[in-house]
Amino acid sequence: MTRVEVAIVGAGFAGLGMAIALRRAGRDDFVILERAASVGGTWRDNTYPGLVCDVPSHLYGFATHPNPLWSGTYARGDEIRSYLERIVDVEELRDRLQLRAAMRWADWDAAEGVWRIGTGAPGTAASTGGTCDDVIVADVLVIACGRLTEPSIPRISGLESFPGPLFHSARWDHSADLAGARVGIVGTGASSIQILPELARTAAQVTLFQRTPAWIVPRGGDAYSDTDRARFAATPQALEALRADLYAEGEARFASRAGDSDAATEAEAVARAHLERQVHDPALRAALTPDYAFGCKRVLLSDDFYPAVASDAVTLVRGALWAIEGSTLVGSDRSRHDADALVLATGFASTRQPYAELVSGEGGVTLAAHWSQGMTSFASTVVSGFPNMFVLNGPNASLGHSSSVLMIEEQAAYATRVLAGRAGRVLRVRPNAERVYTDEIARAAASTRWMTGGCRNWYVDERSGRLTLLWPGTVEAFRCRLARADGSEFEPADEAPTTPAPVEGVLRGAS
């Protein structure tokens, strides 16, 4: 058994960001639990061809750890993973890191006022608290598991009988030789638009199944030269100024993503012009044009997706993959396509976080049960009924316009500030504070394109119709909102805990 003040679950950006904040605050009694064999989170799990971040590299990193060595405007996935490994070494976190230590369960012990977390190696039989698991006892639990960790596998008739290589984009099978092969890809989201051009260059034929087209804008960007990198390393103020410019550009981009009429019209015009320049066939162009408002779904960045789709190497199927019959892929339009391999670029469990089933708070209520009508919180970070617990990158903590690392840093700062004033007491979020915050989010989201744009997106929970993934505002607005939290969100130390009910919030019609 290990006894610590803080147990952090996850060693991606969120977990490492929390560890950095604790260290900066002089709190060194913590452990980082990571289910995999190395750090990196999504940048460890995703290794598909063409993997590049769609946030500018000099904004996609910790403010305390600028990196002058990024290769270009947009960093490759392997670079980001190496960056996180370097953070572990620079911050001297290796001795705080437990690898291959998956959280199997986490239970609040009300009598002792601590969290008990059962861990074990991935792939072994799960336990519910027996002696087979290693147990961490912690005053504070920080959930930093990420929001896009568990692949979503569609239910497709015959999927399990497909004879060739079949894998999700986040679990890329590098042993599969796809050169000269006939490859099917399901999905046209952020991963698919990076994978498709790479496959189109080497595969004999690629069949792309598109249920819903995306709004795509030019990615642009340049490679940084050795001179650029040397200048960034020699003059930190230049790097700081670039980050400030990128931050301002991202904040300005919020208007078009959220649905400001003029900004959205201007951004949509850019996307339409991009499509028209790169796809000359009117029928294909029509098939690739969304029928929902710009910003309703995730806006994608690519300069080579449209040319790949328009090439002879790719066949676009307007509809879902409906069934698989042997090695034949059958579209919802009943078209048939022979394939040697199949890639599922079908996204992740987003609104229903897998870790929620594993966490039990006061009265034995699981986080999944508390979130049965969609994720709720106060300050996107603390949850009623789950004392001394913080969730990073969870409810309404993602962004549609800028770097999620900025949000993680704000949440970690809030958590360390709260812990500094804890003085050993149990922190219980008042249910009403969570309800008020949930209604704030609902009111702010009501007029955004995520709610009114006429699409289905993974930001909105289908059970309640609430926006549960995205923060409906700028990063600066999030910073100010967390700064206003004065501790009144927690029950007084001598007050008996109340049993929270799932928060329904304000229902909205669009989904």
**Residue-wise pLDDT tens digits, 277-310:** 999 999 999 999 999 999 999 999 999 999 999 9
Tokens 């997706």, residue located = 305
The rounded distance, in Å, linking the Cα atoms of 451 and 447 is 7
Three-state DSSP string of 400-452:
CCCCHHHHHHHHHHHHHHHHHCCCCCCCCECHHHHHHHHHHHHHHHCCCHHHH
Give the CA radius of gyration of the chain: 23
Residue 506 confidence (pLDDT): 36
Three-state DSSP string of 246-268:
HHHHHHHHHHHHHCCHHHHHHHH
pLDDT (tens digit, 9 = 90+) per residue, 244-290?
A: 999 999 999 999 988 799 999 999 999 999 999 999 999 999 999 99
- What values do phi and psi take at 232, rounded to 5? -60, -40
> Structure tokens of 433?
């504070």
- In this prediction, residues 59-85 reach a mean pLDDT of 97
Residue 120 confidence (pLDDT): 83
> Structure tokens of 490?
């927690």
Residue 507 confidence (pLDDT): 33
pLDDT (tens digit, 9 = 90+) per residue, 183-202?
A: 999 999 999 999 999 999 99
pLDDT at 108 over 90: yes
Residue 462 confidence (pLDDT): 92
Residue 130 confidence (pLDDT): 43
Instruction: Tell which of 344, 374, 390 closes a domain.
Output: 344
The rounded distance, in Å, linking the Cα atoms of 223 and 241 is 19
- What values do phi and psi take at 251, rounded to 5? -60, -40
The rounded distance, in Å, linking the Cα atoms of 372 and 358 is 14
- Tell me: do 86 and 142 sit in the same domain: yes
- In this prediction, residues 461-487 reach a mean pLDDT of 97
- Tell me: do 338 and 424 sit in the same domain: no
What is the identity of the amino acid at 45?
A: D
User: Among residues 86, 96, 79, which one has the least CA distance to residue 27?
Assistant: 96
Query: Is residue 131 one of the residues assigned to a domain?
Result: yes
Query: Is residue 230 one of the residues assigned to a domain?
Result: no
Residue 114 confidence (pLDDT): 98
The rounded distance, in Å, linking the Cα atoms of 238 and 226 is 15
Inter-residue contact 149 to 43 (CB < 8 Å): no
Query: Is residue 55 one of the residues assigned to a domain?
Result: yes
- Tell me: do 185 and 267 sit in the same domain: yes
pLDDT at 381 over 80: yes
Residue 131 confidence (pLDDT): 46
Which residues partner with 134 through β-bridges? 119
Residue 511 confidence (pLDDT): 28
> Mean pLDDT, the chain, as a whole number?
94
Tokens 């061809």, residue located = 49
What is the identity of the amino acid at 315?
A: T
Q: How far from each other are the two terminal CA atoms of the chain, in whole angstroms?
A: 45
- In this prediction, residues 390-419 reach a mean pLDDT of 97
Residue 123 confidence (pLDDT): 57
- Tell me: do 168 and 292 sit in the same domain: yes
Query: Is residue 39 one of the residues assigned to a domain?
Result: yes
User: Among residues 144, 141, 140, which one has the least CA distance to residue 16?
Assistant: 144
User: Among residues 327, 345, 51, which one has the least CA distance to residue 208?
Assistant: 345
Query: Is residue 497 one of the residues assigned to a domain?
Result: no
pLDDT at 8 over 60: yes
Which residues partner with 42 through β-bridges? none
Query: Is residue 508 one of the residues assigned to a domain?
Result: no
Residue 503 confidence (pLDDT): 44
Query: Is residue 448 one of the residues assigned to a domain?
Result: yes
The rounded distance, in Å, linking the Cα atoms of 137 and 6 is 9
Residue 128 confidence (pLDDT): 45
Inter-residue contact 80 to 52 (CB < 8 Å): no
The CATH number given to whatever domain includes residue 40 is: 3.50.50.60
pLDDT band at 1 (very low <50, low <70, confident <90, very high): confident
Query: Is residue 502 one of the residues assigned to a domain?
Result: no
pLDDT (tens digit, 9 = 90+) per residue, 418-454?
A: 999 999 999 999 999 999 999 999 999 999 999 999 9
- Tell me: do 84 and 127 sit in the same domain: yes
Pairing mode, strands 328-331 and 321-325: antiparallel
Tokens 């290693």, residue located = 134
- Tell me: do 274 and 331 sit in the same domain: yes
Inter-residue contact 241 to 235 (CB < 8 Å): no
Q: Is 423 left (phi over 0), alpha (psi -120 to 50) or beta?
A: left
pLDDT at 4 over 60: yes
Which has more confidence, 128 or 452?
452
- Tell me: do 199 and 100 sit in the same domain: no
- Tell me: do 291 and 364 sit in the same domain: no
Q: Is the dihedral of CA 130, 131, 132, 133 positive or negative?
A: positive
Inter-residue contact 117 to 108 (CB < 8 Å): no
- Tell me: do 302 and 356 sit in the same domain: no
pLDDT at 320 over 80: yes
Domain around 292: 159-215+260-344
Inter-residue contact 337 to 328 (CB < 8 Å): yes
- Tell me: do 208 and 311 sit in the same domain: yes
- What values do phi and psi take at 152, rounded to 5? -95, 120
The rounded distance, in Å, linking the Cα atoms of 377 and 392 is 11
pLDDT at 127 over 50: no
- Tell me: do 198 and 321 sit in the same domain: yes
Instruction: Tell which of 344, 367, 390 closes a domain.
Output: 344
pLDDT band at 495 (very low <50, low <70, confident <90, very high): low
Residue 133 confidence (pLDDT): 75
Which residues partner with 118 through β-bridges? 105, 135
Number of structural domains, the chain? 2
pLDDT (tens digit, 9 = 90+) per residue, 167-188?
A: 999 999 999 999 999 999 999 9
pLDDT band at 221 (very low <50, low <70, confident <90, very high): very high
Q: Give the lowest-confidence range in 17-21, 151-155, 267-271, 373-377.
A: 151-155
- Tell me: do 193 and 113 sit in the same domain: no
Which has more confidence, 149 or 69?
69
Tokens 């805990």, residue located = 497
